[in-house]
Structure 1
Amino acid sequence: MSLTLGIETSCDETAMALVADGRLVAERIATQIDAHALFGGVVPELASREHLRVLAPLLDDLLAAAGVGLEDIDNIAVARGPGLLGSLLVGLSFAKGLALATGARLVGVNHLWAHLTAPALEMDISYPALGLLVSGGHTQTYLIRSPLDFEVQGRTLDDAAGEAFDKAAKTFNFPYPGGKFIDVIGQRATPDKSMFPRPYVNNDNLDFSFSGVKTAVVNYVAAHPHLRLPHMPEAGQDVEDLLAKAGVLDEFAEVCASFNWCIADALRIKVDRALTAVKEQGVTSLVVAGGVAANSVIRRVMTELAESHGLTCVLPPLRLCTDNGAMIALAGEKVAQAGWKHDLDLEAIPRGRAIPWDYQRIVEEV
C-alpha cells in the first residue's frame, strides 16, 4: 500500500489528508472563515499566518487519527497553485521540509485539476469527460482525457462565478461567505428571469465573464436600498429570521432566486456549447467541481444538461466541493503512480500564471 499525504493551503483553508490507493484514510481541516468574516473577505496576510500557525498541529492530529508515522508516507502532495502566493509558499515550504526529512517523493499539484479529480474519491469518473470548474477565483471548462490530461476549452475573462456570488452577498450585507445564503434563501421563491442579465452569453465562444452581472446587482440594490441589511448579522444569528422580522424575506427570496438562476443559466449555455464542441472526442461524462458546485441550482441545472446529452453528471459530495486536502492527496497519488515527481526547487504559482508541466521522471533505485 502506497500512502500519500496531501497539503492544501491555496487560500483560507488549511487542510491535510492521507490517501492510499485512491481511498481516503483520514483528513483534517482548519477553517479560517470566522477570522476573515470580520473583514468581509479573505485577507491574504492573515491567511498566511494562520496556515503557518496550524500546519504542524494539524499534521500531528492527522497522523494520530490514521495510526501512522511520517516514515510510512511515500508521497507528499502539495497544492502549488493557483492561489494566494503567501499561502501557497507556507504550504510548499512545509511540504519540502517533510520531503527532505523523510525522503518521501514531493509532488506539486495543480489545485484546479485536483478539484475536478476529487469526485473519484467516492465514485468512478468515465473519461474522456468535460469538466466544469466553478469557484470563487475560477470558472473554466476542460476536456479531460485522463486524470493527468486537461485541455482548457473556456476560461474566465474577468470575474468568476464565485466572485459574483460573493459580491452580491456583500451588497446585500450577508455574512461572509454569503453564497450559501443566496442559495438557501432563493429556494423560497420563483426566479424572475428578467431581473438580471445572463452575463456574456450573446456570443459564440466558450469563455465566461461575470463582471457585468456584479454591476447589475449593485445597481439594483442601489435602486432598492431596503434590499441591503442595515448591519451584517452577528455570528450565529439566523439571516432568514432577521429578514422575516424586517418584513423583506419574500422580496429577498425573489432577488436571490433570480440571481441564482441568472448565474446557473449562463453556465448552462456555455457548458452546453462546450459539450457540442467536444462531441467528437467521445465525451462520456460531465464533471462539475469547485466551491460553487455546492450550489443547489447549479447542481440541478448541470444534472439536467448532462442527461439531455446522454451523459453521466459527476458531482462531488458537498464536503469535497470546497478546498480540501483529500483532493490534493488523490491528484498527487495519480501523478506519482504515473511515474512523476518534483524536486525541491518546485515553485509556487499564484493566480494569473499558467502552471507548467515540470515534473521529473521517478527513477527507482535498484
Structure 2
Amino acid sequence: MSTPCASGPVCLGIETSCDETSVALWAGGRIEAELVHTQIPMHSVFGGVVPELASREHLRLLDPLVESLLAQAGRPGGEGVELVAVTRGPGLLGALLVGIAYAKSFALARGVPVVGVNHLHAHLLACEFTGFIEYPALGLLVSGGHTHIYSMPRPGAFELMGRTLDDAAGEAFDKIAKLLNLPYPGGKYIDELARLGTPVRGLFTRPYLNNDNCDFSFSGLKTAVALHVVQHALPALDYAAFDPVVVEPRVKDLCATVSETVAQTLLEKTRRALGRADGVRTLCLAGGVAANSRLREVFTAFAEANGLKFLAPAQKYCGDNAAMIAYAGVQLARAGLASALDFEAIPRGRAVPDDYIVNPLFKE
C-alpha cells in the first residue's frame, strides 16, 4: 500500500482503543508490515465489548504481536525504528492505557520520540490510503462510538462542525441488530441483509433533522425500530446458525430501511455542513460504518453531483487499525511535533487535547 506521503521516519504504530489489538510498521512511504488480532469471537458471547476483557487481551497479545511484526519486517528488536505512534484516545480507558504504557516503554528504551494520536483524526487521514486529500476538505467520521463532521481547511486541521448527541450511527446499527438477534458485530449483518431487501418508504423518519445544526441523534430511530419489531411480532433470528438466504423478506426489508434511513440522515447533515464550509474540494468518509455499502453508494453519488473528490478507505482500513495510527503519527512528526512522555489516555466522552511538544527531528 502506497500513499501520497513518500517520506517520514520509520514508525511503529500501536492501536488498542477497543477490541482490536493492531500493530503496523511504516517505512519508505508505505506500510511495511501490519498485524491485527480481533477479539470479536470472545466478545460476541456477550453481544458487545466487555472493557475489562478487552484490556486483558491487549496486555496478553501486544508484545508478541510487536515482536512478530518486527521479525516480519526484518527489524528484530526494533532495529531502525525512529518513532512510535499510539492511539491516545478516545476509546476504552483500560484498553488505551495498555497500548500507551507499551508505546512509552518501547520509545524510552530505544531513545526515540513517541506521539499520542487522536484516533478520530487518524480514521479520516486513512482516506489517503486511497488517494490524496485536496484541501479544503470535509470529513464525516462514522463509527460505533462517534458520528462527527469536521471541516478540514488544511493538512492537520480538524474543526468540529457536528457530533452525535446520544447514540452514534454504528451504535444504533449494533443495538438494532441485537433486537433482531443478529450475530455480533451487528452492523455488518444489517448491511448484508439490507443488500437483499428493499427499503420501505415512509416506515421511519430521518431522525433529528428538524433543526438547523449539523449534530446527530440516532436514539429515536433505535426506539422506532424496537417498537416496530414488537408490534409486528418479528421472530428472533437464529444467532448460532445465521443464514441470510433463509431470513424472512420482511426482516431484510427492515434492515434495508434502517440502512437507507441512516445513510440519508448522514447525507442531509453533510449537505448542511458543505454549505457552511468554504471551498471544499474533497469529501472524506471514514470509520467502521464507512464500510456500509449503501452509505458508500450514497456518498459517492453525492460527491460526484457536487463536483467533489470522494475518498473512503478500503474496507480493511475502515475499522480500527494501527496502519492509520502510524500514518497519522508520521504526519505529526513531519510537522515537527511529538508528545511528552507524561501524556494521558483520553477515554470516550472527552476531547483529545492538541498538547504536542516541539520535536524538529523529522520536520520537513
When normalised by structure 1's length, the TM-score is: 0.94
Whether the aligned pair in 2 keeps the contact of 1:23 and 1:121 (CA below 8 Å) is no
**Of residues 233, 237, 246 in structure 1, which corresponds to 2:239?**
233
Whether the aligned pair in 2 keeps the contact of 1:285 and 1:314 (CA below 8 Å) is yes
Which residue number corresponds to residue 325 of structure 1? Answer: 322
Distance in 2, Cα, partners of 1:276 & 1:309: 11
Distance in 1, Cα, partners of 2:159 & 2:234: 45
Residue 161 of structure 2 aligns to which amino acid in structure 1? Q
**Of residues 13, 20, 32 in structure 2, which corresponds to 1:13?**
20
Which residue number corresponds to residue 271 of structure 1? Answer: 270
Distance in 2, Cα, partners of 1:147 & 1:103: 28
Whether the aligned pair in 2 keeps the contact of 1:294 and 1:321 (CA below 8 Å) is yes
Whether the aligned pair in 2 keeps the contact of 1:180 and 1:295 (CA below 8 Å) is yes
Which residue number corresponds to residue 353 of structure 1? Answer: 350
Whether the aligned pair in 2 keeps the contact of 1:233 and 1:239 (CA below 8 Å) is no
Whether the aligned pair in 1 keeps the contact of 2:338 and 2:358 (CA below 8 Å) is yes
Q: Does 1:132 align with 2:140?
A: yes
RMSD: 1.3
Which residue number corresponds to residue 3 of structure 2? Answer: none
Q: CA deviation at 1:352?
A: 0.7
Which residue number corresponds to residue 55 of structure 1? Answer: 62
Distance in 1, Cα, partners of 2:20 & 2:29: 22
Q: Does 1:29 align with 2:36?
A: yes
Equivalent positions of 1:31-180 (< 5 A) are: 31-69=38-76, 70-180=78-188
Residue 216 of structure 2 aligns to which amino acid in structure 1? F
Q: Deviations over 1:142-169 (max 9, x none)?
A: 0112341100011111110001100110
Q: CA deviation at 1:64?
A: 1.2
Distance in 2, Cα, partners of 1:364 & 1:142: 29
Which residue number corresponds to residue 255 of structure 1? Answer: 254
Whether the aligned pair in 1 keeps the contact of 2:137 and 2:281 (CA below 8 Å) is yes
**Of residues 269, 284, 290 in structure 1, which corresponds to 2:287?**
290
Residue 243 of structure 2 aligns to which amino acid in structure 1? V
Q: Deviations over 1:196-253 (max 9, x none)?
A: 1211012111101101001111111111223422xx522xx34314xx1xxx521111
Number of aligned positions between the proteins:
354
Whether the aligned pair in 2 keeps the contact of 1:118 and 1:327 (CA below 8 Å) is yes
Q: State the percentage of identical aligned residues.
A: 55
Instruction: List alignment gaps of at least 5 residues for structure 1.
Output: none
Q: CA deviation at 1:315?
A: 1.1
When normalised by structure 2's length, the TM-score is: 0.95
Q: Deviations over 1:280-329 (max 9, x none)?
A: x2110100000000000000111111112110110110000000000000
